[in-house]
Amino acid sequence: MKNVNRYETMFSIVLSVLMLMFLSGCAGPMAIQEQAMKPTPLELKKTHDFSVCVSAQGGREKDPFGIPQVSNEQLVKTVRESIIESNLFSKVVPQNQDYSLDLFIVRISQPLVGRDATVKIEIAWTMRVGLSEVVIWQKSITTSATTLENENSLLFNRIVLATQEATRKNIEQGLTEISALAL
């Protein structure tokens, strides 16, 4: 009887500690926010009086370890909203566009361990005329950002913050370069 009680106490302690670990983990981790990836305000060279359709490939919500990355939907939404808010193109449309902006997330390099989290993101940008295969501009842009240990105590969150910032820089550079194009 005494032994049973001892096992029950041990079991309760182990279970409590595990619950605490899970709960503390649940309270902290952040998710990628589209708003944080939006470059505002955008300093454009000029605006284009045309319609554009934005698409993205290569992205994913999370890597196999569960670390948030950037999904195609998040990238399209952020770029689309950035274009609308900055008036870079007069219209963002789902079809019958004057130009197509194709984005491809080539690589997101995130740390597995460490103190300061540096994330690098490479996005391949392509501008095509309408629905044709005629490419008028193409560039693969790599940007990076670092979140320091003192900015957030959880590595997971530092990776999320650095991923958002690196993506924001990438979008800013891509849209600024597009604004300089002679369409």
Partner 1 sequence: MKKRIVLFFILLAFGFVSGCSIVEQRAAKLPGAEIKEKPKFFVLSLEGDKRNIALVISDELEAMGYESDSGLKSWMPPDTDVLVTFEDRWFWDMANYMIRLNMEFRDPVTEYPLVVGESLRTSLARKSPPEMAREVLTGMFAEYEKN
Q: How far is the CB of 8 from partner 1 (least distance, A)?
A: 6
Distance CA 25, CA 67 (A): 13
Strand order in the sheet with 99-109: 89-92, 48-57, 99-109, 117-129, 135-147
Of the candidates 90, 88, 89, 56, the residue with the CA atom closest to the CA atom of residue 74: 56
Nearer to partner 1 by Cβ, of 38 and 127: the residue is 127
Q: How far is the CB of 133 from partner 1 (least distance, A)?
A: 6
Structure tokens at 175: 């849209």
Residues in contact with partner 1 by the rule CB under 8 A = 4, 7-8, 10-11, 14, 57-58, 63-65, 102, 104, 106-107, 109, 112, 122, 124, 126, 133, 135, 138-140
Tokens 């501009």, located at residue: 137
Structure tokens at 26: 């649940």
Of the candidates 80, 154, 142, the residue with the CA atom closest to the CA atom of residue 117: 154
The angle at the Cα of 46, spanning 43 to 47, to the nearest 5 degrees, equals: 105
C-alpha distances (whole Å) from 73 to each of 3, 29, 35, 127 are: 56, 21, 13, 19
Nearer to partner 1 by Cβ, of 15 and 84: the residue is 15
Structure tokens at 87: 């008036």
Q: How far is the CB of 101 from partner 1 (least distance, A)?
A: 12
Q: How far is the CB of 160 from partner 1 (least distance, A)?
A: 19
Q: How far is the CB of 130 from partner 1 (least distance, A)?
A: 15
Nearer to partner 1 by Cβ, of 48 and 128: the residue is 128
Nearer to partner 1 by Cβ, of 47 and 138: the residue is 138
Nearer to partner 1 by Cβ, of 90 and 173: the residue is 173
